[in-house]
Amino acid sequence: MKILLTGAAGFIGMTTSLRLLERGDEVVGLDNLNDYYDVTLKQRRLERLTSHPNFRFVRLDVADRSGMERLFAEDKFERVIHLAAQAGVRYSLKNPHAYIDSNIVGFTNVLEGCRHSGVQHLTYASSSSVYGGNTKMPFSEHDSVDHPVSLYAATKKANELMAHTYSHLYGLPTTGLRFFTVYGPWGRPDMALFLFTKAILDGRAIDVFNHGNMQRDFTYVDDIVEGVIRVMDRIATPNSAYDALQADPATSNAPYRVFNIGNNNPVPLLDFIACIEDALGKKAEKCLLPLQDGDVPATYANTDALQEWVGFVPGTTIQDGIARFVAWYRGYYK
């Protein structure tokens, strides 16, 4: 298939693109290469893609309306995987406008492009952060998510609502995937695994928020990518059993679906740090701090619906995943 993948120079975007290319798809990878984090890392990821004959890179911001209109009009994509976004809960406290531009305006441009060019299926990245103030565990797609605790979370919830509108009005099949703390080689430098590894190797203390009383459903990138591609391959359909009197937020009488995609196994933060210490062969000095604004103490994905839909079962342990990241980190940074 001919696939548009936005955020191709990103961590998940690069890994997904590689998998698609390996199986014979044609991938047009879009990215604006912004400086939210090290641009060199993004360029190095792209180098792994641009040598492939079925890959073409387009440097473009999803918020560029005319540029996105031209791209969709010229290329006639069959499927779209939309991963481009302004990421990061904490950064949204400092630069809220970046989230509106990329996550709201940009997503509108993607939806319009899909609508007007007859895209068969839009698969897009949502986030576990939409669960916000929810305390019922594990997090279920069938529960209400109306209490976000960061602007980043609010924009991702907005994406789901916008997607449903286009599925309802225009029959555009859309599937949203709520990612749960993705990690692995080539990961983002602002994520905990990267920050902890660098600090421990440099002999600096690591910041441990909520005094270590945190849990995260850490999900290895290869498992995420397997789920993303399986979902893209199965076009969203209306739920024939949908009952508007008992509305299910995860489905609709429109071709619309939302799924959690996680490891279904929350790990205490201190255990996560212990795995990093084991992989590095070096102990961490910990600076215990209170919970940060916009953060939540725990995430835990119920993935039953995704398993039923596409057979998704994550298969990477936290020990193996961290060991692979550390091996990559040592090689990349010498």
Residues designated catalytic: 152
- Which of 81, 157, 129, 174 is closest to 292 using CA atoms? 129
Torsion over CA of 329, 90, 129 and 326, rounded to 10 degrees? 10
Cis peptide before 138 (omega within 30 of 0): yes
Q: What are phi and psi of 186, to 5 degrees?
A: 70, 20
Strands 26-31, 2-6: pairing kind = parallel
Give the end-to-end CA distance of the chain in Å, rounded to a whole number: 38
Distance CA 316, CA 121 (A): 28
Report the alpha-carbon distance of residue 98 to residue 105 in Å, rounded: 10
| Pairwise CA distance, residues 230 & 302, whole Å | 18
State how far the alpha carbon of 310 is from the alpha carbons of 142, 166, 248, 328, in Å. Answer: 18, 23, 19, 30
Instruction: Find residue 80's DSSP bridge partners.
Output: 4, 122
